Amino acid sequence: AKAEGRNTLRFYSPDLESSSVNTISLETDLLKAISHEQFILHYQPKVDLGTGSIVGAEALLRWMRPDFGLTSPQTFIDIAEETGLINEIGAWVLNEACTQAAAWQSLGYGPFQIAVNLSPVQFFRQDIVQLVGETLERTGLRPEHLELELTEGSLLKDVERTRLTLQQLKQLGVRIAIDDFGVGYSSLSYLKNFAVDTLKIDRSFVFNLADGTRDEAIVRAIISLAESLGLKVVAEGVENNLQLGCLLSHPCDEAQGYLFSRPIPAEAFGTLMLERPRY
């Protein structure tokens, strides 16, 4: 119904018309993006706050869209989901990320976990478990080195099905993270219903993080909740030392953000790994 609304103009509005045209050309471009090899992955390090070393990376999709330059997924993931293209794109991302992580592994970069974002559309596909299993086999990446990041919003649509799929994914040996934890209104239901491994504290809680703030109280509560449940906790969007200091005092397991590095191409990430920066 959403797709129909996009392509049919019900009443005249210049704005609506031009945005509709833009959407159609976005779709057309997106359709060609995989075969024209316009997608790449950038990698953002996850830093262990106990040791200061890089222990993993989140793979983030970028589209080298002709005439637009390097394009963030925020501008095209919705369309990709509505059109179903996300399935093909997501399979590409999974394969590319696992291939890269396996290569880093064989270069002897030590224990290293790659995190891949999974769209709810992909998650509810019949063959998602098979896709993940096959990708691991093909790329040779050990399952425990793959973490799938799921946003809260996606999981409660069908609790029984989600529970089953998560169970099957965990039987493969991969890890499951709840992304953007805390922004949804049902965060706690997820913890009650689903066996996950990791919580990623949404960056909206990290943004104003400083001692004595309300956000600090919330972050502290999430960290202690994660600890009681035996889950790993990762803070995202860490941009400054004030936020870092606060996280170190609680203590949070891992952090990710511009303070350590922006998402960067694979080659640059490899260099970063060799340098093993410490905070």
State which of positions 12-51 bind ligand C2E (CB under 6 A).
44
Using CB under 6 A, pick the residue from 96, 180, 253, 254 that binds ligand C2E.
180
The structure tokens listed for 61 are 């999709």
Using CB under 6 A, pick the residue from 45, 56, 133, 263 that binds ligand C2E.
263
Q: Is residue 208 classed as helix, strand or coil in its secondary structure?
A: coil
Using CB under 6 A, pick the residue from 117, 162, 165, 187 that binds ligand C2E.
117
Task: Give the Cα separation of 233 and 123 in Å (integer).
Answer: 22
Residue closer to ligand C2E by CB (options 29, 71) is: 71
Regarding 149 and contact with Ca ion (CB under 5 A), the answer is: yes
Give the residue closest to ligand C2E by C-beta: 257
Task: Give the Cα separation of 228 and 30 in Å (integer).
Answer: 44
Residue closer to Ca ion by CB (options 179, 253) is: 179
Task: Give the Cα separation of 119 and 90 in Å (integer).
Answer: 8
Regarding 179 and contact with Ca ion (CB under 5 A), the answer is: yes
What are the start-end ranges of the H helices in the chain? 2-7, 14-33, 77-83, 85-106, 120-123, 128-139, 152-155, 159-172, 187-193, 203-206, 214-228, 241-248, 266-275
C-beta of 258: minimal distance to Ca ion in Å? 14
Instruction: State the Cα angle at 99 between 275 and 79, rounded to 5°.
Output: 105
Residue closer to Ca ion by CB (options 73, 143) is: 73
How many residues bind to Ca ion according to rule CB under 5 A? 4
Regarding 73 and contact with ligand C2E (CB under 6 A), the answer is: yes
Burial class of 22 by CB neighbour count within 10 A (0 to 12, 13 to 18, 19+): exposed
Using CB under 5 A, pick the residue from 180, 215, 216, 254 that binds Ca ion.
180
Residues near ligand C2E, by CB under 6 A: 44, 60-61, 72-74, 77, 90, 93, 117, 119, 149, 179-180, 203, 236-239, 257-258, 263
